[in-house]
Amino acid sequence: MKIAMIAEHANPLPAHRGEPACPASLHVCAVSRQLAKRGHKVTVYVRRSAPDQPEGRTRMARGVSVSYLDAGPARVLDETEHAEHTGLFGTALSTLLAEDAPDVLHAIGWTSGLAALHAQAHGERDRSGAPIVQTFHSLNASEQRSGLAHRPDRARMETILASRADHVLVNSTDQQGELARLGVPRHQVSVVPFGVDSDHFSVEGSASAEPWNTRREERPRLISVTSLTEAGGAERLVEAMVRLPEAELLLVSSTEDRSVALDENARRIELLAKEAGVDDRVHLTGPVERKELPRLLRSADVYVSAASYDPYGGAVLEAMACGLPVVATATGAVPGAVLHRTSGVLMRFGRPDEVARSVRAVLNTPTMSTAYGIAAVDRARSRFTWQRIAVETEIAYERSRPTQAGRAAAEEEDTELLLSGASN
């Protein structure tokens, strides 16, 4: 099968090279490689975000290539700018798809979905076009329920895209429920969660002692890989450390920007830790290379998260694969990953007192902590390997194929309205 994976703002090459990358890029990288191993040919179409990115296609792995499309300035865009250049991206995409027609279009994210519709509308009118599979890593409707910002234009586009796609993939049953409330039939939506490289993230291997002030026997170690923004929950973790005087915490920034010293959020967290009197037990570090992250996770005793919303659950899965019991807020994709009281503890709100109470319950019961860690490894390896995620994605491709010949392509004028609405 020839697969056109449209990932306008999720270049998989940094993740392929082992560099810090956003979860969407990790997903595109891992799934495309696994699909290629299953005999498919995958071309990933991304927007050119740097002037030195090559022309034409770049081979990423056997059976996988990356094609850069010019659409707007050759720099990384702010999230608020994403939709502005999607029309140009879709036009460039339609030209390339006409030259190399795929069997399926797989759009990653809502702007990529708009580009897929745009490209399909500008394709040859005498052909039905390849089916469109739409992946939503997050939905604004779900984000709103978790207290994040309401983005009405994006929410409207996601609803339209979900109804127009031949099949929809989401990370969690939470998002499947949101789409059902928006009128999208459940049989048209598949829950295909985020995955983990269980060969790389495993209990086997060495641990890193460098970030910690004390030995593990002297002080329990908590670790969290998270955004340092308010939604990431780092402030609540710092406040929880006041109630956990026996432990120390390492916060690993999940941003792609390595310059934590210039990060305003990092400075805010450090100031909070100092004011709370826990700065000697709370450590911040920038994003960690993928090859070093397992060693860091294995050096901790408990993985903890107080995020307001976690649509991916990727960091939780990586910690589970390394044998860590998890204490996390039951939000987004996390409840699908962590089995409460089996592989960890799920919290309702992630308030500082709730975090402290849950962490202490795990630390004070070594037998339970060990059992959680064993169950976490087993669950990560049995349910969330990228190999399995690729198989489930492949099944979704098959489901997206038209049940009868002559499925009409999206009307060009409707797509133009969608694009104009997204950029306003």
Token readout for 122 is 């500008």
Phi then psi for residue 114, to 5 deg, are -60, -40
What does the CA dihedral 220, 284, 142, 131 come to, rounded to 10 degrees? -110
Q: What is the pLDDT of residue 311?
A: 95
Q: How far apart are CA 394 and CA 281, in angstroms?
A: 46
Q: How many residues does the chain have?
A: 424
Q: What is the pLDDT of residue 260?
A: 58
**Long-range CB contacts (< 8 A, 24+ apart) of 65-74?**
66/11, 66/12, 66/13, 67/43, 67/96, 69/45, 69/93, 69/96, 71/8, 71/47, 72/47, 74/48, 74/49, 74/50
Nearest alpha carbon to residue 7 among 65, 51, 50: 65
Q: What is the pLDDT of residue 392?
A: 98
Q: What is the pLDDT of residue 421?
A: 57
Q: What is the pLDDT of residue 121?
A: 84
What does the CA dihedral 399, 400, 404, 410 come to, rounded to 10 degrees? 160
Token readout for 202 is 């495993």
What are the tens digits of pLDDT across the range 168-215? 999 999 999 999 999 999 999 999 999 999 999 999 999 998 889 888
User: 3-state class of 256 per DSSP?
Assistant: coil
Element (H, E) at 344: strand 344-347
2-6 and 104-108: which strand pairing? parallel
Q: What is the pLDDT of residue 122?
A: 76
Other CB atoms within 10 A of residue 365 CB: 12
Other CB atoms within 10 A of residue 283 CB: 17
Gyration radius of the chain's alpha carbons = 22
Nearest alpha carbon to residue 4 among 115, 106, 121: 106
The letter for the amino acid at 61 is: A
The upper half-sphere exposure of residue 296, i.e. CA atoms within 13 Å in the direction of its Cβ, equals 24
Phi-psi region of 129 (alpha: psi -120 to 50; beta: other; left: phi over 0): left
Q: What is the pLDDT of residue 80?
A: 86
Phi then psi for residue 367, to 5 deg, are -65, -45
Burial class (CB in 10 A: 0-12, 13-18, 19+), 54: exposed
Positions of the chain with pLDDT lower than 70, given as ranges? 123-128, 256-262, 402-424
Q: What is the pLDDT of residue 217?
A: 81
Instruction: List the domains of the chain with CATH numbers.
Output: 2-195+386-423 (3.40.50.2000), 221-383 (3.40.50.2000)
